[in-house]
Chains A and B, each alone.
Chain A
C-alpha cells in the first residue's frame, strides 16, 4: 500500500474518515509512555523495538516522552520481521527493513515491540520468532497505536492507543510526520484505497 501525500490529503478531505488527528495521536502516545513506566516500574530495563517502518518512528516518540518524564533515555531499536513472515509466498519478494538492536542487546531486557496497527497478529508472531533468534529477553510486551481487532493468533497488546472497531473490508492507514508529512489515522472503505 503506497500512498502519496497528495492522495492521502485528498482522501482525508473527501470520503475517508479521520479517526485520530495529530493531537489525538500525541495524547495516546503520552498515555502509553506513562503506562509503560508504570508497568515496567520506571522503565529501568526496557528496550523499545519498533517494527519498520512506522513502528520505529512511534518507538522513538515513546522514548522521547519517557525521557521528558523521567529525564533518562531508554534504548530504542528496530526489528524487521520480513524474513520471518508467514505470508512471503503470497506476495512478490519485498525489500528488507532495517534491524538495529541497541548496543547492549536484548538479553535479560523487557522488550516492548511497537507497531502502528495491530490486526491479525501475524506480524507480531513474526517479530517473536525474530526475537528468538536474536537473544533471550526477560519479557516481551506489545504496544500498538491502533488495535483494529480481527486477531488470527492468540496475541493481545499490552498498550493500545485506540481500540478501533472495523470491518475486514475497511483499511486503516496511519500517517506519521516523519514518514508522511502529517499525523493522522484514517479509516478507508476498501473501494477508496
Chain B
C-alpha cells in the first residue's frame, strides 16, 4: 500500500471516530468537552519538541522554544482547567448538598 494512502486511511477513520464518540453528548457537557478537546490539540508540543531538538541556528532555536512554551501552555492549562470544571460536576454527587 502506498504510504500516503495509509495516512489518508488514518485520517478518514479518525474523522469518523471523532464525530462518533461525541455524537450523543448533552449540552451540559459542551463546555468541558470543548475545553478537553482544546487541551488535546496542545499535543502539538510533541511537534514543537521535535523541531526544536533539531534546530540548527539561533533563530530556529528561539522560534522553536517559543513554540514549545506556547504549546505547553495550551496542553497543561487545557487539561488543568478542564479538570477544575469537571471537579464541580462530580463533587456534589455524594449526599446531594455539600454544604
To the question of whether A and B form a pair in one complex, the answer is no
Which residues of B does A touch, CB under 8 Å? none
